[in-house]
Amino acid sequence: MSLLEVRDLHTHFIAYDLDNRLRTARALNGVSFSLEPGRILGLVGETGAGKSLTALSILGLLKPPARVVAGQAVFEGRDLLALPPEELNALRGARIGLVVQSPKTSLDPLARIGQQLVRLQRAHRPEFSAAQAEARAAEMLAAVGIPDPKRRLRAWPHELSGGMAQRVLIAMALVNEPSLLIADEPTTGLDVTVQAQILDLLRGLARQRGIGAVIITHDLGVVAHYCDEAAVMFAGQVVEHGPVSALFARPAHPYTRALIAATPERLQLRAPRPSGSPPNLYALPEGCLYRDRCPMAQDVCTRPPPDLALRDGHAARCHLAEAA
């Protein structure tokens, strides 16, 4: 059984505009992917493709006017989207850990690191004594590579560097021994050398503890180096997914090919690059959403493309995938 299976997730922004017309921005248009226990999935796409929104939808953290209008997110056999809020809240931070992209501002500025780790444990495991929780907090800080963890428990968030704060966030995400970890752009804003350390740490801890992880990134290089699986998002859909090796060896969707060609290591002068802006979410075209930007677009593309299965668990949402 999959650890997490997201099926046909639709999230819309629904609001009245200044002319009093009800407008719907269709931000997620049928996101589907699945994750096996202990595997690492890279969810990749350009800004606005709906990567973070997917995570927020699954975790029930959407704010109005955003709203999940259809779909399922089955985690350990239960549909997260159908759970009552309290039950979902009990899973978040316990069975599902989250690492976000602005670690320095995501820590409570008025609580010491140790207090925050203890608070989080006792919220989900009331049976822990304060002393037990503090001991585990120190262990966790050591596990994420923070030197002198006992002393660091007394540190205030503003005393930490960005990389250090991100390690603390990872410690918080893992302290309750989750089976799923979602890391949303975990290295944005960090120094390049620190980025690699953080990603190494994330992968190492996930492997060592058998945790399934979703790493959300706009960087294909991160997917290639740190993930087992990849899911490429465009305009609120997963347009291609599969094992990293297969996906990079034989990219089947024209968008994936354009993305790969645009990564710095492979930048070729004549390569087709993703160009143009994402489609207008208020007036999405019928059929393939990538049609307007696709160099290979044909008449058939005005019909919605199927999720075509290729070899090795690799699939692409494109009429022309087999031809590729």
Give the separation between CA 105 and CA 125, rounded to whole angstroms.
26
Determine the size of the site formed for other proteins (CB under 8 A): 44
User: Coil, helix or strand for 5?
Assistant: strand
Which residues between 20 and 49 bind other proteins (CB under 8 A)? 20-21, 23, 25
Beta bridge partners of residue 36, listed in sequence order: none
Q: Is residue 80 near other proteins by the rule CB under 8 A?
A: no
The residue from 79, 108, 139, 322 that contacts other proteins (CB under 8 A) is: 108
Beta bridge partners of residue 87, listed in sequence order: none
Cα-atom radius of gyration of the chain, to the nearest Å? 21
Nearer to other proteins, 19 or 127 (CB): 19
**What is the β-pairing status of strands 212-217 and 40-44?**
parallel
Beta bridge partners of residue 11, listed in sequence order: 28, 68
* Interface stretch with other proteins, choices 14-22, 37-45, 231-239, 268-276 (CB under 8 A): 14-22
Nearer to other proteins, 108 or 139 (CB): 108
Which residues between 231 and 260 bind other proteins (CB under 8 A)? none
Give the separation between CA 139 and CA 175, rounded to whole angstroms.
9
Q: Pick from 76, 77, 78, 57: which is nearest to 13 by CA? A: 57
Nearer to other proteins, 22 or 269 (CB): 22
The DSSP annotation for 89-118 comes to HHHBTTTEEEE-S-HHHHS-TTS-HHHHHH
Q: Is residue 317 near other proteins by the rule CB under 8 A?
A: no
The residue from 6, 94, 118, 201 that contacts other proteins (CB under 8 A) is: 94
* Interface stretch with other proteins, choices 107-115, 208-216, 235-243, 292-300 (CB under 8 A): 107-115
Which residues contact other proteins (rule: CB under 8 A)? 13-21, 23, 25, 59, 61, 64-65, 89-94, 98, 100, 102, 105-111, 119-120, 123-124, 156, 158, 169, 172-173, 280-283
